Chain A
Amino acid sequence: MEQERDEIIAINGLTKRFGAITAVDDISFSVPEGELFGFLGPNGAGKTTTIRMLTGILTPDAGEVSIGGIDMQKHPIAAKMQMGIIPETSNVYIELTAKQNVVLAGRFYGMHRKAVEERSDLLLQQFELSDRKDDRVEGFSKGMKQRVLIASALVHIPKVLFLDEPTSGLDVHSQRLIRAIIREMNDAGTTVFLTTHNIEEANTLCDRVGIINRGALTAIDTPERLKQAFKETQSVEVAFDTPTDIGEIERSGLVNRTEQAGDKWRFYTDDPDALAKCVFAFAERRKLSFTAFSIEGASLEDVFVTVTEGKAHAP
């Protein structure tokens, strides 16, 4: 049985308007302590506006945010002291060295100089930047700068880590390193709130995901439960050795939707087992050979596309 955990992020009725546009529309949810929570949404859906309100950068028009039980509106400094934050449009100070950047961040959170120096050295070693720690960041690659940025957010060992697109535009090595560190921090007890465009990243990293679309929270659950909830995104993919009319399969009553890609057909269905049997029977009757056959479960990407295109809401 799953143990009930305390909520460390609690959001109630959060709303933000920019003129006539409602960027975030009355969203409410909570994140329990120790969870790795993924926040997904297409461009302009309201992800960054939400994370800015959660981290005290932007003031909401309505609603409340509390971090570790501390009201962000009433006690912003105390609430921020518990967080490490990597905003989307952020950068390190290129005029300072890697270590100076990390140390500066730690001092903002009240760390003593000796402790912050030791912790900075350790983090920069973990992020494979030890040999460049005393170099100005100016000459660093994007991946190296992002690693310095994340080290700066982790230096005070925050209870909650907010990451807005942390691996966006980075090389594979930096992406892997950053994901490993996020996982490690989460294993050590840090709650992680992650926004990402990368569905696979959310799928493999997150305990639970929320999907925001046009300012509204349209789905929130574990990746697996979300996939199960969207049964219509299960599919059977086939290719035959000779071109053929697949109308008979489509009229079987088992197919919700058909997509063609090259010589492959993808049939979306609620019952992949029955459809597979139907396709085999069809091939047998017409003496067709398969060049490809697979049954695809719903992917988180399918769920994301379905929800954000407004085709369905999560149950």
Chain B
Amino acid sequence: MPRNTLLIYLRSIALIAEKDMRIYYTKPPVLMFGFLFPLFMFLAFSLGRSADLHTLFPGLAAMFVFFVASSVGPLITPWEKRAGTYERLLSFPVTVNTLILGDVVAGMLYGIIINVIILAAGMAAFGYSVSFTEVLIIAISLVLGAFCFSALGVLLASPASTNPSNVMLLSNLVRFPLIFISGIFVPIASLQGVARVAVYCSPITYLVNSFDLGLLGSAAIPLLLGWAVLIGSSVVFVLLARTFLRRNLMKGL
């Protein structure tokens, strides 16, 4: 790819992400399903219970990353199709790839920004003692997890209708079951049989595992394998989103 074309691609991705950040970060569905909902889930599992929050926090933090990062993507395409801005966006010097990656970057940054605060607050509140290496593990895991879940969010929007609430409904139908098979509430190591197999199918599991290693010092799955699964899942989500989006590009215009 010529250097000039690469620069145009990168610029388009950055501009799409910037536009998404300005417009969608404060939309009510994003705040509701991306921030308030996991917060209430977190409070439901922490307040008035004798749960060991020190052990539970890595899983809850991963759940936060999942909800926050995957909340932006499902909204963008249907919202833009309904608002009449999508066709004009397509008319700019962009491609389907840059559209997808721009949206993924916007969701990823949303996930990272909010979860840096949550992780910092959690580490201070629950008294984790972490080395520089463990901070690095948490940081890399956060970036990989946020990218992966954001890509899942964009994938969920790719069969897009022009009705954002339909897409948000579909996205929640996929997202909610995933959190119950991800080792968030039950440690991965204690699961057996079908539950153990199911847990390996959810990409959230691998972020929970990485956070476990970074915050608690031990993990059931090797770290590099977990990262590889997150990267592999991201690639699959982006490629599937590309296929569906190309097929449905003009739907609703």
| A interface residues, Cβ below 8 angstroms from B | 52, 55-58, 76-78, 80-81, 83, 85-96, 100, 104-105, 107-110, 149, 152
Contacts and interface: CB of A to CB of B under 8 A. Distances in A.
B194 interface: no
Interface stretch (B7-15, B36-44, B46-54, B103-111): B7-15
Q: Lowest 10 CB-CB distances: which A-B pairs, in order? A: A91-B84, A85-B91, A90-B88, A87-B87, A108-B92, A80-B93, A95-B23, A77-B93, A57-B90, A81-B93
Contacts of A100: 22
B85 A93 contact: yes
B84 A108 contact: no
26 contacts: A55-B91, A57-B250, A76-B93, A77-B8, A77-B9, A77-B95, A78-B5, A80-B92, A80-B93, A83-B91, A86-B88, A89-B84, A89-B87, A89-B253, A90-B85, A90-B87, A91-B83, A91-B85, A91-B88, A93-B19, A93-B85, A107-B11, A108-B92, A108-B94, A109-B93, A152-B88
A94 B93 contact: no
A104 B11 contact: no
A252 B183 CA distance: 94
A108 B15 contact: yes
Nearest to B91: A85
A56 B8 CA distance: 16
Contact of A87 (B9, B19, B83, B91): B91
B22 A58 contact: no
B15 A104 contact: yes
Chain B interface bracket (under 10, 10 to 19, 20 to 34, 35 or more): 20 to 34
A10 B94 CA distance: 22
Given A77-B8, A110-B11, A90 B93 contact: no
A91 B84 CA distance: 5
Contacts of A52: 250
B91 A80 contact: yes
B253 A110 contact: no
A152 B5 CA distance: 22
B55 to A, nearest CB: 42
Interface of B: 5, 8-9, 11-12, 15, 19, 22-23, 83-85, 87-88, 90-95, 250, 253
A55 B90 CA distance: 9
A105 B91 CA distance: 10
A141 B79 CA distance: 21
A117 B12 CA distance: 18
Contacts of A89: 84, 87, 253
Contacts of A88: 87
Given A94-B83, A95-B22, A104-B19, A87 B88 contact: yes
Given A87-B87, A89-B87, A90-B84, A105 B8 contact: no
B88 A85 contact: yes
A58 B84 contact: no
Contacts of B15: 104, 107-108
Contacts of A55: 91
Contacts of A78: 5
Contacts of B95: 76-77
Nearest to A76: B95
B252 to A, nearest CB: 10
B92 A105 contact: yes
B242 to A, nearest CB: 14
Contacts of A87: 87-88, 91
Nearest to B81: A89
Given A85-B91, A109-B92, 15 more contacts: A57-B87, A76-B93, A77-B93, A77-B95, A81-B8, A87-B87, A88-B87, A90-B91, A91-B83, A91-B85, A104-B15, A104-B19, A105-B92, A108-B92, A108-B93
A108 to B, nearest CB: 4
Contacts of B23: 93, 95-96
A86 B90 CA distance: 11
Contacts of B85: 90-93
A1 to B, nearest CB: 37
A90 B88 CA distance: 6
Contacts of A149: 88
A109 B94 CA distance: 10
A78 B11 CA distance: 14
B91 A96 contact: no
A57 B19 CA distance: 20
Contacts of A90: 84-85, 87-88, 91
Nearest to B27: A95
A52 B95 CA distance: 14
A90 B95 CA distance: 18
Contacts of B94: 77, 108
A89 B252 CA distance: 10
Contacts of A109: 92-93
Contacts of A86: 88
Contacts of A77: 5, 8-9, 93-95
